[in-house]
Structure 1
Amino acid sequence: MQVFLQQRLSSLFVVSLSWLSLLCLLAGFTACSQSPAVESGKKTAGTGTEVKEGEDWQVIYIEDQKVGYARNQTRVENRSGKKVVQKQNDFYLKYKRFGQTLNMAVHLQTEESVQGELLSYEFEMQNPPAGSTVSKGVVQDGQLKIETNIANQTAETKLEWKPDDHPPTYIDRVFRESPMQPGEKKSFSMLLAEFSKITEVNLKAIDYESVEIPGRTGVKCLHVEMQQSLIPGLTTDLYVNEEGELVKSSTDFLGAKMYVYLANKTEALKELSGKGLDLAMQALIPVSPISRAHETEQVVYEIGMEKDDPSKYVVAGDTQQVKKLDANQIELTVTKAPVPEVFPEAKIDAEFMKPTQFLQSADAGVIKHANAAVGSETNPWKQALLMEKYVHRNLKKKNFSTALASAAEVARNMEGDCTEHAMLLAAMLRAQKLPSRVAVGLVYIPTQKSFCGHMWTEVFLDNHWIPLDATLGKGGIGAGHIKLRDSSLAENEPAPLTLFLPVIQSVGKLKISVLDYRPRAQ
């Protein structure tokens, strides 16, 4: 069971690959060609800057290990007498996990006017063998009309599009059109295509620094901090040279640093580092051994951070009580949820019952599995336990290369790891009219004597949220889980990948010690 748990957790670190690709996009490395071609010297009407055709390349590192590269291209087309600027950004990431090669590709294409106004975009995230996630958007009549396809199911949404909203490539232009000075601040709104939402971006220029990039040292750059509203708490450090080019970015990632550097084609296409980057091992949080952690009634933890407040990351609720000790330490008491015995009509928001793009509880495959699990059982708690056990037993194939498959995909393929277990169980619960949500946090791994990132499910019964973990399949959970965030995955909720932000931000910084624990009564 211990080895099984350790292996099944791997998909959370594949999710981290998705974050890598998105962080690269957020870092603003878009088509800022160093070698202008056809349009060189031709001024962009109304902006005073040049539209340049060409391409550039970036390399992506975690600390000193190369994990991917990016290619950015710009072309200008004439359409019915009007010029349209096409920008294509392609990101590729690769590493190994449990002997399997994990690949992630993200593609973003925009069409803009020469003034930089967004006309349309197409975004695709590829993570085989899971199906691609694709979103397309067109600006019409003051609206951005978006069509998103996940697991062959299409959803349409509309966003108000204001004249001062910018395309996702705008960060490329802002430093060339309006150079910043140390101490200066700047804000603007910009589309994040990967989230299909508009974010408020805040820039703060710090000072000039001498920066090293592959093949060059002593590059004079302005250090700019970037934050945005859709991912609060995440700061990306940008380094802009005197020509207004982004030559480097850095972001905290699972206790390490992720870097993106401007590079040439030869450097970008070199083989990736062969040192065997292991995100899972890097993200473990050591702790003193907890005997039979997943069969405990209660565990009291002390959680500290050197320069941050851990209470910002830990969720308080029915099974977690947070006591703040000082600015950098908390005492967390985790208690096993009591078994529900009465089942009054649930007083809960509809978002925990409805199908969503990731929890397709109306999908025929999801319904089939839910019915097979429950059979003739009518007791809601026993139904939930039967579904937890069913997913645990039947989702057998360990596919370590899937990042975040939807419930419909999992129901069809019946393969995956902790995220797939959680997604499928949550959708099956809703298919049986039981309110559900997913939870993200940390789980104790006995073989490693450590905590590790994890995802599980919660069901709402007797007016309480009760955790279930189909990865473990033990009939609910003990006190070996620490929850950092939960979500209904409703369409108006933040994008699913943002669920993992507390894990990505806190791992590598958290220190956990066990103050007391109470085993389950035999």
Structure 2
Amino acid sequence: MRRSLPPLLALFIAALPLAASAAPPEDQWFTVLLDGRKIGSFEAKREVRGREVHTTQTLEIELERAGVKVALGSSESATETVDGAPLAFASTSRLSGSETRIDGRVRDGSIDLDTTTGGATQHRKMPWPAHALLPEGLRLAGVRAGLAVGTRYRALAFQPSSLDAAEITSTVAAPERVDLPGGALDLHPVDQVLAFPGAPMKTRAWIDADQTVHKLTLPMMGVDLVLLACDRACATAPNQGSDVFSRTLMPSPRALRIEELAGTMRYTLASPRNESALALPDTDEQSVVARGGERVVTIHRDARVRKGEKPDPSDYKPNDWLQSEAPEIVRLAKQAAGDAATPLERMRRVETFVRGYIRSKTLDVGYASALEVARKPEGDCTEHALLVAALGRALGIATRVVDGLAYAPGFAGKDQVFVPHAWAQAWVDGRWQSFDAALPGFDAGHIALGIGDGDPWRFYAGLDLLGRIELREAQSTTP
């Protein structure tokens, strides 16, 4: 998955060298600003206990979606040797009351994992990415590189919340004067490029001669997210709030008719920042062609048989967010499918069932797993998508979760916009076909930005992309 606000901030702070000639601060606080408005706090702790280094990073922010406040939090801890070798990590992510806990122990090149979501715990093993580092190892890599202007170095940063690693390339720039809550300082800027698949992200940090971080900026939905070092009182002062959801609405160049959406649509997407690395997925319903700095995206309401990606074995299995073997999920799947004879008919019935089963259509949930939705049927598009995907897997059908955009004639006071959305795909009749229980169904007004396994970080990653693309043309190709 890639990216999301809570784990990304922890990753960015961890990826920077904290101190060389002096001991790193034991406890450091930051105020978090979005487009100049305070939305939360970040705390980083480091403690040496004998031959081990223990670090903890905690983020708390508050956003708004169409007037509804959404609380997001992330706490990550790591245990390493004083030489930076990884020993263990833990991650707790909170999204509007929904909590996920990950505990990992690194041994002999593999990770022993315990993951708890919605009250259900799963145990498994996975390989440790070769040469990946946790916070202390990343700090030591920066210390070895030094602060000479023009210095460039690379490191592979492990992200506990999403259980993957990203390469970070850091380049030291010339010192400059920086205004901070406690006064101006002369600091060294460090430019970073995080090699996320499809859309590398650039960020900048400002550090002092002892390599302590004082400021960090990164792009989010077309504006800057900024962390400024300050004291605890400053960092934990009341938030000002920011309606982040309004930034994710993408205007349509014109109104789209129902009959157009029932056929085939062709969209021209572009990045105002000319990000040629922009990558959108090809599916059995969506084809993407690069045209200079633009992407021409063709959407067919009905999936076509193509030589595309076939299901992976994991697309049939339960995971932390799609608990398809849980008794509650299995019971609902049988209830939904009834006597349907084919996979296509089973998925159609699942789609209809979930649309009616989730009685409370609300933005208050944030992001809940399929099992949580089965037990408490409320939420928005993500809750619908995860439950559809989990029920499909419980019926032996490969499924996955798509994050992207869906056309709405009107939403949150805006006319003709594409809204952030999620839906499910199932492997039926030799192709991936979409099922959208949150709306009347899938149509050519759906643009896929990413495909995953229900992990929330994959969904929230797409929100960043929305601030960096625009829709220039929308054409119907239906006769």
TM-score class, shorter-chain normalisation, is: 0.7 to 0.9
Per mean C-alpha deviation after superposition, the further-off stretch among 430-439 and 508-517 is 508-517
Gaps of at least 5 residues in structure 2 are: none
Q: Do the aligned partners of 1:86 and 1:112 also contact (CA within 8 Å) in 2? A: yes
Q: Do the aligned partners of 2:66 and 2:246 also contact (CA within 8 Å) in 1? A: no
Among 498, 503, 511, the residue aligned to 2:458: 498
1:137 counterpart residue number? 104
Q: Do the aligned partners of 2:24 and 2:46 also contact (CA within 8 Å) in 1? A: yes
Per-residue CA deviation, residues 77-119 of structure 1 (Å, 9 max, x unaligned), is 4xxxx44333222211113445543222211222333334333
Q: Do the aligned partners of 2:66 and 2:245 also contact (CA within 8 Å) in 1? A: no
- Aligned-residue offset at 1:176: 4.3
- Aligned-residue offset at 1:141: 4.0
Change (3 A) 1:370 1:512: farther
- Aligned-residue offset at 1:214: 2.7
Rounded Cα–Cα distance in structure 2 between residues aligned with 1:348 and 1:102: 34
Per-residue CA deviation, residues 240-284 of structure 1 (Å, 9 max, x unaligned), is 2222111111111112211111111121111111xx411111111
AA aligned to 2:465 is: Q
Among 188, 203, 222, the residue aligned to 2:170: 203
1:480 counterpart residue number? 445
Per-residue CA deviation, residues 348-394 of structure 1 (Å, 9 max, x unaligned), is 44332222222221111111111111222223322211111111111
Does residue 113 of structure 1 match 2:113? no
Change (3 A) 1:55 1:453: same
Rounded Cα–Cα distance in structure 2 between residues aligned with 1:501 and 1:424: 20
- Aligned-residue offset at 1:442: 1.0
Indicate the percent of aligned positions where both proteins have the same amino acid.
Answer: 20
1:95 counterpart residue number? 63
1:516 counterpart residue number? 476
Rounded Cα–Cα distance in structure 2 between residues aligned with 1:269 and 1:503: 26
Rounded Cα–Cα distance in structure 2 between residues aligned with 1:268 and 1:428: 43
Among 18, 37, 45, the residue aligned to 1:65: 37
Q: Do the aligned partners of 1:31 and 1:56 also contact (CA within 8 Å) in 2? A: no
SS of the residue 1:308 aligns to: coil
- Aligned-residue offset at 1:190: 3.2
Q: Do the aligned partners of 2:45 and 2:57 also contact (CA within 8 Å) in 1? A: yes
Rounded Cα–Cα distance in structure 2 between residues aligned with 1:261 and 1:217: 12
AA aligned to 1:514 is: A
Does residue 296 of structure 1 match 2:262? yes
Q: Do the aligned partners of 1:437 and 1:459 also contact (CA within 8 Å) in 2? A: yes
Among 371, 375, 383, the residue aligned to 1:412: 375
Rounded Cα–Cα distance in structure 1 between residues aligned with 2:147 and 2:259: 53
Does residue 443 of structure 1 match 2:410? no
2:149 counterpart residue number? 182
1:286 counterpart residue number? 251
Rounded Cα–Cα distance in structure 1 between residues aligned with 2:67 and 2:462: 28
1:85 counterpart residue number? 53
Rounded Cα–Cα distance in structure 2 between residues aligned with 1:223 and 1:298: 46
Q: Do the aligned partners of 2:114 and 2:124 also contact (CA within 8 Å) in 1? A: yes
- Aligned-residue offset at 1:458: 1.2
2:6 counterpart residue number? 21
Pairwise CA RMSD: 3.1
SS of the residue 2:206 aligns to: strand
Gaps of at least 5 residues in structure 1 are: 1-14, 35-47, 341-345, 490-494
Task: Map 1:301-320; keep pairs closer than 5 Å.
Answer: 301-308=267-274, 312-320=278-286
- Aligned-residue offset at 1:134: 1.2
1:332 counterpart residue number? 297
Rounded Cα–Cα distance in structure 1 between residues aligned with 2:110 and 2:54: 20
- Aligned-residue offset at 1:414: 1.3
SS of the residue 2:5 aligns to: helix
SS of the residue 2:396 aligns to: coil
Q: Do the aligned partners of 1:201 and 1:229 also contact (CA within 8 Å) in 2? A: no
- Aligned-residue offset at 1:68: 0.7
Change (3 A) 1:72 1:231: farther
AA aligned to 2:324 is: S
AA aligned to 2:127 is: L
Among 459, 463, 486, the residue aligned to 2:430: 463
SS of the residue 2:318 aligns to: coil
- Aligned-residue offset at 1:500: 4.5
Task: Map 1:382-421; keep pairs closer than 5 Å.
Answer: 382-421=345-384
Per mean C-alpha deviation after superposition, the further-off stretch among 108-117 and 406-415 is 108-117
Aligned residues: 470
